Amino acid sequence: MCHQTVSLVANAIESAGIPTVVMGAAKDIVEHVGVARFAFSDVPLGNSAGLPHDIGSQRDVLHCALRLFEAAHAPRTTVQTPARWQGDDHTWKRDFMNLEQLSEEAVAKAKAEFERQKELANLNR
């Protein structure tokens, strides 16, 4: 889901007196909106709740987010989760979805898969 939408919804819920924690990977967007509590994972978008197929990573991120409820004593508190993408901290930022590094065939395959997923999502409405 869109980081901006989640952040705006979290702010509305907070204004009703219900505490929230946003888990996300788009730090600039979430902090610009100004949520009360933000568990930031420095990983590619779509992986805010931990690394794919890595239950331990997902558990660690969730525990970090839950601890934030207790630890946040000021508004707009951001903590970085322990989630780390494979390789060094900057490699994925250079490589993730870098179209210049993909062949035309790979781009076409990714587009086709994206369209297939959209069709599946529409069937499940």
For the stretch 99-120, pLDDT in tens is 777 788 888 888 898 898 888 8
Domain check: are 68 and 13 in the same one?
A: yes
Most confident of 6-20, 39-53, 88-102: 6-20
Domain check: are 77 and 95 in the same one?
A: no
Domain check: are 15 and 48 in the same one?
A: yes
Residue 118 has a pLDDT of 86
Domain check: are 64 and 102 in the same one?
A: no
Question: Tokens standing for 11?
Answer: 């702010």
Question: How much is the pTM?
Answer: 0.73
Domain that holds residue 64: 1-86
DSSP class of 94: H
Domain check: are 59 and 82 in the same one?
A: yes
Domain check: are 77 and 109 in the same one?
A: no
Domain check: are 54 and 101 in the same one?
A: no
Domain check: are 14 and 75 in the same one?
A: yes
Nearest to 92 by CA among 80, 81, 101: 101
Domain check: are 81 and 101 in the same one?
A: no
Which amino acid is residue 119, in one-letter code? E
**Residues 51 and 85 sit within 8 Å (Cβ to Cβ):** yes
Residues 6+ apart with CB under 8 A from 79: 38, 39, 40, 64, 68, 71
> Which residue, chain included where needed, has tokens 């870098």?
98
Domain check: are 105 and 121 in the same one?
A: yes
Domain check: are 79 and 93 in the same one?
A: no
| Rounded CA separation 41/48 (Å) | 6
* Tally of structural domains, the chain: 2
Domain check: are 76 and 45 in the same one?
A: yes
Q: Where are the beta strands (DSSP E) in 58-115?
A: 77-80
